[in-house]
Structure 1
Amino acid sequence: MAAGFNAYLIAPASIIPLLVDSFGIDKASAGLSISVFFLAWGMAGLPGGLLMDRYDNRRLAFVGVVALVLASLAGAATSTYLPFLLTRFVGGATGAFLWTANANVVSRVFPESKLAVATGLFVAAGPAGQAIAQFGGPLLADVAGWRAVFVVYPLIVVAGLPVLYLAAREPVRSEEAISLGQFVRVLRNPTILAVSFASACSFALFVFFSSWMPTYATEELSIDLAAAGAATALVPFAGIVARPGGGWLSDRIGERRRPVIVVSFLLALPVIFGVTTIRSAGGFAMLMLAAGATVQLAIGVYYVYVAELAEPGTTGTCLAMVTSVST
């Protein structure tokens, strides 16, 4: 489910020229189709977290699936760009239920001894979905047209819904509805805010390396675009291993979360410095692999850490805080 959601999120990136031609817009305007998605996801995060602590998360996920499918169908059918952007905004808002609520389900279903690894595997669906979109989008568009891209990925989300119900056979919600006072305390909790800020920094580094490096490689290193794109694809691919790997490491050192977060940033520092010194295509590829591994090492750990810090009945809101700040 999460992989399909992330594939739909990043879907426009690999077919930007087709959107430009179809809607008669420029590339900057086409890029808004991704920006509004993140905007809606961030805006819906905290209200969604409040709902997650009050209602069965499985039902909220079902609502999210229905909304995403309807938005994707409407987006594929529209002939003008503004309505298309609106459908992307609606799709982004479903992230509160299709990503964060699923993270909450994982935190409730798995035992504490396996929680970090399980959460790491869950968040690895993010780069996996992005990889599906980056490689599959152009191929699908060639076969069935660009509109099919925005219809197919939500089908992956639909396929994940039965799996969710099989994994969580009982309702997933807080025993008691979160109070307004508890909600305010979450927003003011300095530790949760610090973890959310650290998560935002990690995610910003991930976006920086996965989005801007192809342009940097072509303009500054004189690497051709195809090679630069292939090398940069190593960033999300590394996350498929690094995200659950960080959770595994955290469990191996006595379920301690902070050391993994600190190590992630410390290892990322020489990689960031390396961007200014690498001059070869091979070195650039190795740098992208290292970047993907280091900056994503703690991404799954943030979710586990916040869930452990949460007051009883506020886990969904705390997870939503991390997601909202990060996006």
Structure 2
Amino acid sequence: MTERTETVERAPAAQSTDRDDRRTWLLVLGASLLSTGLAAYEIAPASVTPLVQESLGVDATAAGLLVGAMFGTAVVASVPVGVVLDRTNSRSAMAVAVLTLFVAGVWGWVAGENGDFRGVVASRVLGGVAYVAVWNAGIDMVSRAVDPERRATAVGIFTASGPIGFALGQATGPLVALEFGWPAIFLAFNGIALLGLVLFWPVSRGLGHSAGAAPSVAEFGAVLRDRNVWLVGGLGFLGYALYLFVNSWGGPYLTEEVGLSVAASGLLVAVFPAVGVLSRTSSGLLSDRVFDGRRRPIVLGSFVVATPLVFGFTSLQSLPVLVAVLLVTGFAIQTTLGLSFTYVRELVHPRVAATAVAFQTSVGLAGAFVAPIVGGAVVDSAGFDAAFLVAGGLACCGIALAWLAPEPAR
């Protein structure tokens, strides 16, 4: 009789746990869809560059601003946005960001239809603010919603929205442009973000505010003076720099040095970012389950694996080997990209966690912004071998920083 009673008494608690788990993963799914829509919006102009140049009468450098403007805006705006998130409501910020995306999308569409290049760029700057708000607020909200034992896994799933959105934007942008005209790419992915908000909004109630009073200016300053935050920020900078370097110059190397067609090179290099869906998701799972919540072994292993592969990339001629190296290198580098946001958040007080995440975003995207430009300069002046040697040197620096980085307090 007693055993039966205990079973009855435990049932409501088990049902409550199941409901909480469903709510948590709906929140993660909704936030991820929000980010996926914005990532697709961010990269879509890259897939229709020739149409943009012909329509607006601009050169390749100017057309590149339609993507670069969002990265540049994110670098500048990320920390201020994080400070605002720590003092306001992250949940509301996500809704405002979706509204901002709709405004930016309509603005870009109208400007594109009217041949207004400056208007299109300005709309992309506004979209960049929306993107960085969703990214920082999403990591903050997902981190709060999930138990510490599963936090890195959940944040890793959320960060996988980046490569998924990039793949979606690259693949479907030309189809949208051919059917509705290229300016329609600024509207095409808003529906994904809206669907994400519809899922996210009801299950995120009560999670928007940080605990306690708003953090002081001194607390924000302490984040930016924290040596450990800078160490992990440096890991993000190096990880994103390597990620964008290989994305930008792996294809031209295969075309110019190996002799592949542009189409074949693009197809091969596409495996490099695509594997990020798996690595960014699994990085947190490995950290939480295999390494008992430790973060440092993952990022250290990431750079240890990537370093010799980047150094030796230009010495390889076999296509199967090149594909294997791109897969392994892409997986290794993106484990750091998936985990670093959880890592930095755990190094600071929860009251300023969004600021730390915003700092990580800003520093990481600075690496993404600089790497293709510097890589191109090295390729022009010294060739591909020298450029990949420099990239290998960056990976070595990553090993050193990961060795020095602390383990967050448990």
**Shorter-chain-normalised TM-score: which range?**
over 0.9
Give the corresponding residue for 1:257: 295
Alignment-derived partner of residue 324 in structure 2: 286
Give 1 or 2 for the bigger CA radius of gyration: 2
Residues 128 and 236, structure 1, Cα contact 8 Å, conserved in 2 = no
Q: Determine if contact 2:176/2:188 at 8 Å carries over to the other structure.
A: no
Identity of aligned residues (%): 35
Question: Could you tell me which residue of structure 1 aligns to residue 170 of structure 2?
Answer: 134
Q: CA separation in 2, counterparts of 1:34 and 1:321?
A: 21
Q: Deviations over 1:16-69 (max 9, x none)?
A: 001001100111110011111111111111111111111111111111111111
- Is 1:200 aligned to residue 233 of structure 2? no
Question: 2-side partners of 1:281 and 1:145: how far apart?
Answer: 37
2:218 pairs with 1:178: no
Cα distance in 1 for partners of 2:170, 2:322 equals 20
Give the superposition deviation at 1:76: 0.9
Alpha-carbon distance in 2 for matches of 1:88, 1:267 = 36
Which sits farther off after the overlay, 141-150 or 17-26? 141-150
> Which of these residues, 352, 357, 361, is aligned with residue 319 of structure 1?
357
Q: What is the aligned length?
A: 327
2:133 corresponds to: 97
Deviations 1:145-182 (A, max 9, x none): 21121111122112111222233121422122010000
Distance in 2, matches of 1:282 and 1:134, equals 24
- Contact 1:210-1:236 within 8 A present in 2 as well: yes
Structure 1 stretch displaced more, 16-25 or 71-80:
71-80
Inter-partner Cα distance in structure 2 for 1:186 and 1:210:
31
TM-score (norm 1): 0.97
Q: Which residue of 2 aligns with 1:191?
A: 228
CA contact (8 A) 1:100 1:319 kept: yes
* Secondary structure class of the residue paired with 1:152: coil
The 8 Å contact of residues 67 and 90 in structure 1, kept in 2 or not, is answered as yes
Per-residue CA shift, 1:130-156, capped at 9, x if unaligned? Answer: 010111111221222211211111221
Q: Give the counterpart letter for 2:75 in structure 1.
A: G
What is residue 70 of structure 1 aligned with on the other side?
Answer: 103
Q: Secondary structure at the match of 1:174?
A: coil
CA distance in 2 between counterparts of 1:171 and 1:259 reads: 30
Cα distance in 2 for partners of 1:295, 1:171 equals 31
SS of corresponding position for 2:210? coil
Counterpart CA distance in 2 for 1:29 and 1:281 is: 34
Aligned twin of 2:344: 306
Distance 1:2 1:134 in 2: 16
Unaligned runs of 5+ in 2: 1-33, 366-410
Give every structure 1 segment of 4 or more consecutive aligned residues whose post-TM-superposition deviation is greater than 6 Å: none
Q: 2:266 matched to 1:229?
A: yes
Residue 110 of structure 1 corresponds to which residue in structure 2? 146
Q: What amino acid is the match of 2:53?
A: V
SS of aligned partner of 1:103: helix
